Structure 1
Amino acid sequence: MSGRAPLFQGTLAIVIPVLNEAPRLPATLAALAAEAAAEIVVVDGGSDDDSVAVARGAGARVIFAARGRGAQLAAGVAATAAPWLLLLHADTVLAPGWGAVVARFIADPEAGARAGYFRFALAESASWARRLARVVAWRARVLGLPYGDQGLVISRALLERSGGIAALPLMEDVDLVRRLGRRRLVPLAADAVTSAARYGRGWRRRSFRNLVCLGLYYLGVKPARLAGLYYGGG
Protein backbone atom coordinates (compact mmCIF):
# COMPACT_ATOMS: atom_id res chain seq x y z
CA MET A 1 0.00 0.00 0.00
CA SER A 2 2.93 2.32 -0.62
CA GLY A 3 1.94 5.92 -1.24
CA ARG A 4 -1.60 5.43 0.08
CA ALA A 5 -3.14 6.10 3.48
CA PRO A 6 -3.49 2.86 5.42
CA LEU A 7 -6.98 1.43 5.49
CA PHE A 8 -8.85 0.43 8.63
CA GLN A 9 -6.40 1.51 11.34
CA GLY A 10 -8.45 1.26 14.53
CA THR A 11 -11.60 0.56 12.52
CA LEU A 12 -11.41 -3.10 11.52
CA ALA A 13 -10.28 -6.21 13.36
CA ILE A 14 -9.68 -9.40 11.37
CA VAL A 15 -10.31 -12.59 13.34
CA ILE A 16 -8.88 -15.87 12.06
CA PRO A 17 -9.45 -19.20 13.84
CA VAL A 18 -6.50 -21.55 13.38
CA LEU A 19 -5.78 -25.22 13.95
CA ASN A 20 -2.65 -26.64 12.29
CA GLU A 21 -2.71 -24.20 9.37
CA ALA A 22 1.01 -23.37 9.16
CA PRO A 23 1.32 -24.25 5.43
CA ARG A 24 -1.64 -22.08 4.39
CA LEU A 25 -1.54 -19.21 6.89
CA PRO A 26 1.34 -17.20 5.33
CA ALA A 27 -0.57 -16.50 2.10
CA THR A 28 -3.69 -15.51 4.03
CA LEU A 29 -1.80 -13.08 6.24
CA ALA A 30 0.26 -11.66 3.38
CA ALA A 31 -2.89 -10.79 1.41
CA LEU A 32 -4.27 -8.95 4.43
CA ALA A 33 -1.08 -7.00 5.14
CA ALA A 34 -0.75 -5.99 1.49
CA GLU A 35 -4.08 -4.16 1.53
CA ALA A 36 -4.70 -2.79 5.01
CA ALA A 37 -3.35 -1.74 8.37
CA ALA A 38 -5.96 -3.62 10.36
CA GLU A 39 -5.67 -5.45 13.64
CA ILE A 40 -5.23 -9.17 12.94
CA VAL A 41 -6.11 -11.60 15.70
CA VAL A 42 -5.23 -15.25 15.15
CA VAL A 43 -7.06 -17.53 17.57
CA ASP A 44 -5.28 -20.84 17.99
CA GLY A 45 -7.27 -23.87 19.08
CA GLY A 46 -4.32 -26.06 20.11
CA SER A 47 -2.14 -26.39 17.01
CA ASP A 48 0.81 -28.77 17.21
CA ASP A 49 2.49 -27.34 14.12
CA ASP A 50 4.09 -23.90 13.56
CA SER A 51 0.83 -21.97 13.18
CA VAL A 52 1.48 -19.76 16.21
CA ALA A 53 5.04 -18.93 15.16
CA VAL A 54 3.91 -18.16 11.61
CA ALA A 55 1.17 -15.82 12.85
CA ARG A 56 3.46 -13.98 15.24
CA GLY A 57 6.16 -13.72 12.59
CA ALA A 58 3.66 -12.00 10.31
CA GLY A 59 2.80 -9.47 13.01
CA ALA A 60 -0.55 -10.92 14.04
CA ARG A 61 -1.71 -10.96 17.62
CA VAL A 62 -2.17 -14.53 18.84
CA ILE A 63 -4.61 -15.64 21.52
CA PHE A 64 -5.72 -19.11 22.54
CA ALA A 65 -9.18 -20.62 22.91
CA ALA A 66 -10.95 -23.95 23.17
CA ARG A 67 -10.86 -25.88 19.90
CA GLY A 68 -13.76 -25.24 17.55
CA ARG A 69 -14.26 -22.43 15.06
CA GLY A 70 -17.27 -20.99 16.88
CA ALA A 71 -15.49 -20.79 20.23
CA GLN A 72 -12.33 -19.47 18.60
CA LEU A 73 -14.15 -16.78 16.63
CA ALA A 74 -16.10 -15.70 19.70
CA ALA A 75 -12.87 -15.43 21.71
CA GLY A 76 -11.22 -13.40 18.97
CA VAL A 77 -14.13 -10.99 18.73
CA ALA A 78 -14.14 -10.56 22.53
CA ALA A 79 -10.41 -9.78 22.48
CA THR A 80 -10.83 -6.81 20.12
CA ALA A 81 -12.51 -3.42 20.35
CA ALA A 82 -12.75 -2.36 16.69
CA PRO A 83 -16.23 -1.33 15.54
CA TRP A 84 -15.97 -3.51 12.41
CA LEU A 85 -15.00 -7.16 12.13
CA LEU A 86 -13.84 -9.43 9.34
CA LEU A 87 -14.23 -13.12 10.16
CA LEU A 88 -11.95 -15.18 7.94
CA HIS A 89 -10.78 -18.77 7.56
CA ALA A 90 -7.07 -19.49 7.78
CA ASP A 91 -6.90 -21.04 4.31
CA THR A 92 -8.79 -18.25 2.55
CA VAL A 93 -6.76 -15.66 0.64
CA LEU A 94 -8.54 -12.41 -0.22
CA ALA A 95 -7.84 -11.28 -3.77
CA PRO A 96 -6.12 -7.95 -4.51
CA GLY A 97 -8.48 -5.03 -4.16
CA TRP A 98 -10.41 -6.49 -1.24
CA GLY A 99 -9.42 -3.61 1.03
CA ALA A 100 -11.00 -0.93 -1.16
CA VAL A 101 -14.14 -3.05 -1.54
CA VAL A 102 -14.51 -3.43 2.23
CA ALA A 103 -13.78 0.27 2.78
CA ARG A 104 -16.61 1.21 0.41
CA PHE A 105 -18.95 -1.21 2.13
CA ILE A 106 -18.16 0.18 5.58
CA ALA A 107 -18.57 3.77 4.36
CA ASP A 108 -22.13 3.09 3.19
CA PRO A 109 -24.56 4.67 5.69
CA GLU A 110 -26.66 1.50 5.59
CA ALA A 111 -23.77 -0.87 6.21
CA GLY A 112 -24.34 -0.98 9.95
CA ALA A 113 -27.52 -2.96 9.34
CA ARG A 114 -25.93 -5.41 6.89
CA ALA A 115 -23.12 -7.95 6.63
CA GLY A 116 -20.94 -8.46 3.57
CA TYR A 117 -19.49 -11.68 2.19
CA PHE A 118 -16.91 -12.29 -0.56
CA ARG A 119 -17.25 -14.31 -3.76
CA PHE A 120 -16.19 -17.91 -3.26
CA ALA A 121 -13.35 -19.15 -5.46
CA LEU A 122 -10.98 -22.09 -5.32
CA ALA A 123 -7.26 -22.00 -6.00
CA GLU A 124 -7.82 -24.46 -8.83
CA SER A 125 -8.36 -23.85 -12.55
CA ALA A 126 -10.26 -27.06 -13.36
CA SER A 127 -13.81 -26.86 -14.66
CA TRP A 128 -15.19 -28.55 -11.53
CA ALA A 129 -13.87 -25.65 -9.42
CA ARG A 130 -15.71 -23.12 -11.58
CA ARG A 131 -18.90 -25.17 -11.41
CA LEU A 132 -18.65 -25.38 -7.64
CA ALA A 133 -18.12 -21.61 -7.41
CA ARG A 134 -21.33 -21.04 -9.39
CA VAL A 135 -23.26 -23.34 -7.06
CA VAL A 136 -21.90 -21.50 -4.01
CA ALA A 137 -22.85 -18.13 -5.54
CA TRP A 138 -26.40 -19.39 -6.07
CA ARG A 139 -26.62 -20.77 -2.53
CA ALA A 140 -25.44 -17.48 -1.02
CA ARG A 141 -27.66 -15.28 -3.19
CA VAL A 142 -30.88 -17.30 -3.22
CA LEU A 143 -30.77 -19.19 0.07
CA GLY A 144 -28.85 -16.58 2.06
CA LEU A 145 -26.22 -19.13 3.07
CA PRO A 146 -22.69 -17.87 2.51
CA TYR A 147 -20.30 -20.14 4.40
CA GLY A 148 -17.34 -19.14 6.51
CA ASP A 149 -14.89 -19.66 3.66
CA GLN A 150 -16.44 -16.59 2.02
CA GLY A 151 -15.54 -14.41 4.98
CA LEU A 152 -17.95 -12.07 6.72
CA VAL A 153 -17.65 -8.31 7.24
CA ILE A 154 -19.97 -7.15 10.00
CA SER A 155 -20.22 -4.32 12.48
CA ARG A 156 -19.71 -5.23 16.11
CA ALA A 157 -23.05 -3.63 16.92
CA LEU A 158 -24.96 -5.78 14.43
CA LEU A 159 -23.15 -8.91 15.56
CA GLU A 160 -24.09 -8.21 19.16
CA ARG A 161 -27.72 -7.43 18.25
CA SER A 162 -27.86 -10.72 16.36
CA GLY A 163 -26.70 -12.73 19.37
CA GLY A 164 -22.98 -12.99 18.65
CA ILE A 165 -21.12 -16.10 17.52
CA ALA A 166 -22.27 -19.37 19.02
CA ALA A 167 -19.51 -21.56 20.43
CA LEU A 168 -20.34 -24.44 18.08
CA PRO A 169 -17.82 -27.00 16.80
CA LEU A 170 -19.49 -26.88 13.37
CA MET A 171 -22.14 -24.80 11.58
CA GLU A 172 -21.24 -21.62 13.46
CA ASP A 173 -21.29 -19.80 10.12
CA VAL A 174 -24.72 -21.15 9.13
CA ASP A 175 -26.07 -20.39 12.59
CA LEU A 176 -24.96 -16.76 12.32
CA VAL A 177 -26.16 -16.02 8.79
CA ARG A 178 -29.53 -17.62 9.53
CA ARG A 179 -29.95 -15.24 12.45
CA LEU A 180 -28.92 -12.31 10.28
CA GLY A 181 -31.34 -13.27 7.53
CA ARG A 182 -30.91 -13.17 3.74
CA ARG A 183 -31.96 -9.52 3.40
CA ARG A 184 -29.07 -8.37 5.59
CA LEU A 185 -26.44 -10.23 3.56
CA VAL A 186 -24.63 -8.36 0.80
CA PRO A 187 -22.19 -9.81 -1.77
CA LEU A 188 -18.86 -7.99 -1.98
CA ALA A 189 -17.09 -7.53 -5.31
CA ALA A 190 -13.88 -9.35 -4.40
CA ASP A 191 -12.86 -13.00 -4.36
CA ALA A 192 -12.13 -15.11 -1.32
CA VAL A 193 -9.82 -17.76 -2.73
CA THR A 194 -9.82 -20.94 -0.69
CA SER A 195 -7.29 -23.75 -0.89
CA ALA A 196 -8.53 -26.69 -2.94
CA ALA A 197 -6.48 -29.12 -0.84
CA ARG A 198 -9.49 -30.24 1.18
CA TYR A 199 -11.25 -31.27 -2.01
CA GLY A 200 -8.39 -33.57 -2.97
CA ARG A 201 -10.43 -36.72 -2.41
CA GLY A 202 -13.13 -35.56 -4.80
CA TRP A 203 -15.18 -32.38 -4.89
CA ARG A 204 -18.45 -34.25 -5.41
CA ARG A 205 -17.88 -36.37 -2.33
CA ARG A 206 -17.00 -33.39 -0.17
CA SER A 207 -19.87 -31.29 -1.50
CA PHE A 208 -22.31 -34.14 -0.85
CA ARG A 209 -21.02 -34.52 2.70
CA ASN A 210 -21.43 -30.78 3.28
CA LEU A 211 -25.00 -30.96 1.99
CA VAL A 212 -25.78 -33.95 4.23
CA CYS A 213 -24.41 -32.11 7.26
CA LEU A 214 -26.45 -29.03 6.41
CA GLY A 215 -29.62 -31.08 5.98
CA LEU A 216 -29.10 -32.88 9.28
CA TYR A 217 -28.45 -29.56 11.00
CA TYR A 218 -31.74 -28.20 9.70
CA LEU A 219 -33.42 -31.35 10.97
CA GLY A 220 -32.13 -30.62 14.46
CA VAL A 221 -29.04 -32.81 14.76
CA LYS A 222 -26.61 -31.17 17.18
CA PRO A 223 -23.42 -29.69 15.70
CA ALA A 224 -21.32 -31.74 18.13
CA ARG A 225 -22.61 -34.91 16.47
CA LEU A 226 -22.20 -33.49 12.99
CA ALA A 227 -18.59 -32.58 13.66
CA GLY A 228 -17.64 -36.27 13.75
CA LEU A 229 -19.13 -36.81 10.28
CA TYR A 230 -17.63 -33.65 8.85
CA TYR A 231 -14.11 -33.85 10.18
CA GLY A 232 -13.94 -37.63 10.19
CA GLY A 233 -14.87 -37.88 6.54
CA GLY A 234 -11.58 -36.52 5.20
Structure 2
Amino acid sequence: MALRPPPISVVIAARNEAPRLPALLADLAAAPELIAEVLVVDGASGDATRRVAALAGARVLGSAPGRGLQLAHGISCSSGSWLWLLHADARLEAGWRPAVATALGLPEAAWYSHLAIDGSHPALRLVEWAVAWRSRWRQLPYGDQGLLLPRPLLDRAGGLAPLPLMEDLDLVQRLQPHTRLRPLQARLRVDGRRWRALGIGQTALANARLRRAWRRGVPAEALAARYYGAAD
Protein backbone atom coordinates (compact mmCIF):
# COMPACT_ATOMS: atom_id res chain seq x y z
CA MET A 1 0.00 0.00 0.00
CA ALA A 2 1.38 3.40 -0.98
CA LEU A 3 2.02 5.76 1.88
CA ARG A 4 0.06 9.01 1.89
CA PRO A 5 2.24 12.09 1.44
CA PRO A 6 2.37 14.44 4.44
CA PRO A 7 -0.40 17.01 4.01
CA ILE A 8 0.77 20.22 5.70
CA SER A 9 2.59 23.18 4.24
CA VAL A 10 3.92 25.29 7.10
CA VAL A 11 4.30 28.98 6.25
CA ILE A 12 6.36 31.07 8.67
CA ALA A 13 6.66 34.84 8.53
CA ALA A 14 10.09 35.89 9.84
CA ARG A 15 12.11 39.05 10.23
CA ASN A 16 15.31 39.21 12.28
CA GLU A 17 14.46 35.96 14.07
CA ALA A 18 17.78 34.11 13.71
CA PRO A 19 18.09 33.45 17.49
CA ARG A 20 14.56 32.02 17.82
CA LEU A 21 13.66 30.44 14.47
CA PRO A 22 15.87 27.32 14.72
CA ALA A 23 13.93 26.00 17.71
CA LEU A 24 10.62 26.16 15.84
CA LEU A 25 12.14 24.51 12.78
CA ALA A 26 13.50 21.72 14.99
CA ASP A 27 10.02 21.20 16.45
CA LEU A 28 8.54 20.85 12.98
CA ALA A 29 11.29 18.51 11.78
CA ALA A 30 10.15 15.98 14.39
CA ALA A 31 6.95 15.24 12.41
CA PRO A 32 7.85 14.27 8.83
CA GLU A 33 4.64 12.25 8.63
CA LEU A 34 2.65 15.49 8.95
CA ILE A 35 4.81 18.23 7.46
CA ALA A 36 5.27 18.21 3.70
CA GLU A 37 7.27 21.44 3.51
CA VAL A 38 8.32 24.41 5.60
CA LEU A 39 8.41 27.78 3.87
CA VAL A 40 10.14 30.60 5.73
CA VAL A 41 9.23 33.95 4.19
CA ASP A 42 11.85 36.48 5.19
CA GLY A 43 10.86 40.13 5.39
CA ALA A 44 14.18 41.84 4.65
CA SER A 45 15.99 40.64 7.75
CA GLY A 46 19.26 42.25 8.73
CA ASP A 47 20.50 39.18 10.58
CA ALA A 48 21.11 35.52 9.67
CA THR A 49 17.42 34.52 9.49
CA ARG A 50 17.64 33.34 5.89
CA ARG A 51 20.83 31.38 6.51
CA VAL A 52 19.62 29.53 9.60
CA ALA A 53 16.33 28.69 7.88
CA ALA A 54 18.14 27.24 4.87
CA LEU A 55 20.53 25.27 7.07
CA ALA A 56 17.52 23.73 8.84
CA GLY A 57 16.12 22.54 5.51
CA ALA A 58 13.36 25.11 5.08
CA ARG A 59 12.50 26.62 1.74
CA VAL A 60 13.42 30.29 2.03
CA LEU A 61 11.46 33.00 0.22
CA GLY A 62 11.89 36.76 0.21
CA SER A 63 9.19 39.39 0.65
CA ALA A 64 8.66 42.98 1.59
CA PRO A 65 8.28 43.15 5.39
CA GLY A 66 4.80 42.76 6.84
CA ARG A 67 3.28 39.55 8.20
CA GLY A 68 0.31 39.49 5.86
CA LEU A 69 2.48 40.20 2.83
CA GLN A 70 4.90 37.47 3.84
CA LEU A 71 2.28 34.86 4.68
CA ALA A 72 0.28 35.51 1.50
CA HIS A 73 3.44 35.07 -0.57
CA GLY A 74 4.30 31.84 1.21
CA ILE A 75 0.78 30.47 0.73
CA SER A 76 0.94 31.23 -2.98
CA CYS A 77 4.17 29.20 -3.25
CA SER A 78 3.03 26.24 -1.13
CA SER A 79 1.59 22.94 -2.29
CA GLY A 80 0.10 21.14 0.72
CA SER A 81 -3.58 20.35 1.09
CA TRP A 82 -3.41 21.91 4.58
CA LEU A 83 -1.76 25.15 5.64
CA TRP A 84 -0.29 26.00 9.03
CA LEU A 85 0.48 29.69 9.46
CA LEU A 86 3.01 30.41 12.21
CA HIS A 87 5.12 33.24 13.60
CA ALA A 88 8.86 32.66 13.74
CA ASP A 89 9.22 33.15 17.52
CA ALA A 90 6.81 30.33 18.41
CA ARG A 91 7.55 26.95 20.01
CA LEU A 92 5.33 23.89 19.75
CA GLU A 93 4.80 22.36 23.17
CA ALA A 94 4.50 18.68 24.04
CA GLY A 95 1.53 16.90 22.51
CA TRP A 96 1.28 18.95 19.34
CA ARG A 97 1.85 16.02 16.96
CA PRO A 98 -1.11 13.88 18.08
CA ALA A 99 -3.24 17.02 18.42
CA VAL A 100 -2.57 18.03 14.82
CA ALA A 101 -2.99 14.47 13.55
CA THR A 102 -6.39 14.31 15.27
CA ALA A 103 -7.47 17.62 13.72
CA LEU A 104 -6.61 16.39 10.25
CA GLY A 105 -8.98 13.45 10.65
CA LEU A 106 -12.00 15.42 11.87
CA PRO A 107 -14.65 17.22 9.78
CA GLU A 108 -13.40 20.34 8.06
CA ALA A 109 -12.58 23.20 10.42
CA ALA A 110 -9.96 25.83 11.16
CA TRP A 111 -7.79 25.18 14.20
CA TYR A 112 -5.77 27.38 16.56
CA SER A 113 -3.45 26.61 19.48
CA HIS A 114 -3.87 27.53 23.11
CA LEU A 115 -1.53 30.46 23.72
CA ALA A 116 1.32 30.37 26.23
CA ILE A 117 3.49 33.47 26.69
CA ASP A 118 7.08 32.91 27.76
CA GLY A 119 7.61 34.40 31.21
CA SER A 120 6.71 33.77 34.83
CA HIS A 121 4.75 36.93 35.73
CA PRO A 122 1.26 36.05 37.04
CA ALA A 123 -0.29 38.73 34.81
CA LEU A 124 0.77 36.74 31.77
CA ARG A 125 -1.40 33.86 32.95
CA LEU A 126 -4.34 36.30 33.07
CA VAL A 127 -3.58 37.36 29.51
CA GLU A 128 -3.53 33.71 28.44
CA TRP A 129 -6.90 33.13 30.11
CA ALA A 130 -8.37 36.16 28.35
CA VAL A 131 -7.03 34.93 25.00
CA ALA A 132 -8.57 31.50 25.57
CA TRP A 133 -11.94 33.08 26.42
CA ARG A 134 -11.85 35.39 23.39
CA SER A 135 -10.86 32.56 21.08
CA ARG A 136 -13.54 30.16 22.29
CA TRP A 137 -16.53 32.43 22.80
CA ARG A 138 -15.88 35.26 20.33
CA GLN A 139 -14.18 33.02 17.76
CA LEU A 140 -11.24 35.44 17.47
CA PRO A 141 -7.90 33.66 17.77
CA TYR A 142 -5.00 35.74 16.47
CA GLY A 143 -1.94 34.95 14.41
CA ASP A 144 0.40 34.31 17.33
CA GLN A 145 -1.75 31.25 18.14
CA GLY A 146 -1.05 29.73 14.73
CA LEU A 147 -3.80 28.84 12.29
CA LEU A 148 -4.16 25.35 10.81
CA LEU A 149 -6.72 24.93 8.06
CA PRO A 150 -7.43 23.03 4.85
CA ARG A 151 -6.61 24.94 1.67
CA PRO A 152 -10.16 24.72 0.22
CA LEU A 153 -11.52 26.40 3.35
CA LEU A 154 -9.01 29.22 3.05
CA ASP A 155 -9.95 29.63 -0.60
CA ARG A 156 -13.68 29.83 0.19
CA ALA A 157 -12.96 32.55 2.75
CA GLY A 158 -11.12 34.58 0.11
CA GLY A 159 -7.54 33.74 1.05
CA LEU A 160 -5.22 35.68 3.28
CA ALA A 161 -5.07 39.40 2.55
CA PRO A 162 -1.52 40.78 2.04
CA LEU A 163 -1.85 43.33 4.84
CA PRO A 164 1.17 44.57 6.80
CA LEU A 165 -0.79 44.11 10.05
CA MET A 166 -4.23 42.81 11.11
CA GLU A 167 -4.11 40.06 8.50
CA ASP A 168 -5.00 37.58 11.25
CA LEU A 169 -8.09 39.42 12.49
CA ASP A 170 -9.21 40.02 8.91
CA LEU A 171 -8.90 36.32 8.09
CA VAL A 172 -10.62 34.86 11.14
CA GLN A 173 -13.55 37.22 10.65
CA ARG A 174 -13.92 36.02 7.07
CA LEU A 175 -13.63 32.39 8.17
CA GLN A 176 -16.47 32.65 10.70
CA PRO A 177 -19.34 32.31 8.17
CA HIS A 178 -17.71 29.15 6.78
CA THR A 179 -16.57 27.21 9.84
CA ARG A 180 -16.17 27.11 13.59
CA LEU A 181 -12.64 27.81 14.76
CA ARG A 182 -11.58 25.06 17.14
CA PRO A 183 -8.71 24.72 19.62
CA LEU A 184 -5.98 22.15 19.16
CA GLN A 185 -5.33 20.20 22.32
CA ALA A 186 -1.79 21.55 22.55
CA ARG A 187 -0.18 24.84 23.43
CA LEU A 188 1.94 27.15 21.32
CA ARG A 189 4.49 29.15 23.30
CA VAL A 190 5.42 32.61 22.05
CA ASP A 191 8.36 34.81 22.93
CA GLY A 192 7.51 37.35 25.62
CA ARG A 193 9.98 40.06 24.64
CA ARG A 194 7.38 42.61 23.58
CA TRP A 195 5.44 42.08 26.80
CA ARG A 196 8.65 42.61 28.78
CA ALA A 197 9.75 45.65 26.77
CA LEU A 198 6.49 47.60 26.96
CA GLY A 199 5.07 46.11 30.15
CA ILE A 200 2.19 43.66 30.32
CA GLY A 201 -0.55 46.21 30.92
CA GLN A 202 0.78 48.62 28.30
CA THR A 203 1.12 45.86 25.72
CA ALA A 204 -2.44 44.65 26.27
CA LEU A 205 -3.71 48.24 26.05
CA ALA A 206 -1.70 48.96 22.90
CA ASN A 207 -3.03 45.80 21.24
CA ALA A 208 -6.61 46.71 22.16
CA ARG A 209 -6.18 50.20 20.72
CA LEU A 210 -4.83 48.77 17.47
CA ARG A 211 -7.82 46.45 17.13
CA ARG A 212 -10.23 49.30 17.88
CA ALA A 213 -8.54 51.51 15.30
CA TRP A 214 -8.78 48.71 12.73
CA ARG A 215 -12.50 48.31 13.35
CA ARG A 216 -12.90 52.06 12.85
CA GLY A 217 -11.26 51.89 9.46
CA VAL A 218 -7.69 53.05 10.11
CA PRO A 219 -5.51 51.66 7.27
CA ALA A 220 -3.38 48.64 8.08
CA GLU A 221 -0.28 50.50 6.88
CA ALA A 222 -0.75 53.18 9.54
CA LEU A 223 -1.36 50.58 12.22
CA ALA A 224 1.77 48.65 11.19
CA ALA A 225 3.86 51.80 11.51
CA ARG A 226 2.42 52.34 14.99
CA TYR A 227 2.91 48.70 16.06
CA TYR A 228 6.45 48.23 14.83
CA GLY A 229 7.48 51.64 16.09
CA ALA A 230 6.32 50.58 19.55
CA ALA A 231 8.11 47.25 19.21
CA ASP A 232 11.36 49.00 18.41
TM range (shorter): over 0.9
The whole-number CA distance in structure 2 between the counterparts of 1:129 and 1:72 is: 28
The whole-number CA distance in structure 2 between the counterparts of 1:152 and 1:185 is: 9
Counterpart residue number, 2:54? 56
**1:15 equivalenced with 2:11 (yes/no):** yes
Contact 1:45/1:66 (<8 A) preserved: yes
Q: How many percent identity over aligned positions?
A: 45
Counterpart residue number, 1:170? 165
The whole-number CA distance in structure 1 between the counterparts of 2:105 and 2:117 is: 29
Contact 2:82/2:148 (<8 A) preserved: yes
Q: Which runs of 5+ in 1 are unaligned?
A: 1-6
What amino acid is aligned across from residue 111 of structure 2 in structure 1?
A: G
Q: Which runs of 5+ in 2 are unaligned?
A: none
Contact 2:68/2:160 (<8 A) preserved: yes
Contact 2:6/2:32 (<8 A) preserved: no
The whole-number CA distance in structure 1 between the counterparts of 2:217 and 2:129 is: 28
Given candidates 174, 183, 193, the residue that maps to 2:189 is 193
1:48 Cα deviation after fit? 1.1
Given candidates 96, 104, 107, the residue that maps to 1:106 is 104
The whole-number CA distance in structure 2 between the counterparts of 1:8 and 1:80 is: 18
Provide, for residues 29-59 of structure 1, a one-character-per-residue CA deviation record: whole Å limited to 9, x for no partner.
Answer: 1111123451100001111100001101111
Report the 3-state secondary structure (helix = DSSP H, G, I; strand = E; otherwise coil) of the residue aligned with 2:144: helix
Report the 3-state secondary structure (helix = DSSP H, G, I; strand = E; otherwise coil) of the residue aligned with 1:233: helix
Counterpart residue number, 2:127? 132
Q: How does 1:1-234 map to 2 (within 5 A)?
A: 9-37=5-33, 38=35, 39-108=37-106, 110-111=107-108, 114-181=109-176, 184-201=180-197, 202-234=199-231
The whole-number CA distance in structure 1 between the counterparts of 2:191 and 2:4 is: 26
Report the 3-state secondary structure (helix = DSSP H, G, I; strand = E; otherwise coil) of the residue aligned with 1:170: coil
Q: TM-score, normalised by structure 2?
A: 0.93
- The alignment covers a number of residue pairs equal to 225
1:9 Cα deviation after fit? 4.2
Report the 3-state secondary structure (helix = DSSP H, G, I; strand = E; otherwise coil) of the residue aligned with 2:30: helix
What amino acid is aligned across from residue 104 of structure 1 in structure 2?
A: T
Contact 1:31/1:96 (<8 A) preserved: no
The whole-number CA distance in structure 2 between the counterparts of 1:168 and 1:134 is: 28
Superposition RMSD in Å = 1.5
- Alpha-carbon distance change, 8 to 57 in structure 1, aligned in 2, over 3 angstroms: farther
Provide, for residues 4-35 of structure 1, a one-character-per-residue CA deviation record: whole Å limited to 9, x for no partner.
Answer: xxx98431110001111111101111111123
Report the 3-state secondary structure (helix = DSSP H, G, I; strand = E; otherwise coil) of the residue aligned with 2:87: coil
Report the 3-state secondary structure (helix = DSSP H, G, I; strand = E; otherwise coil) of the residue aligned with 1:167: coil
The whole-number CA distance in structure 2 between the counterparts of 1:52 and 1:9 is: 27
1:80 Cα deviation after fit? 1.1
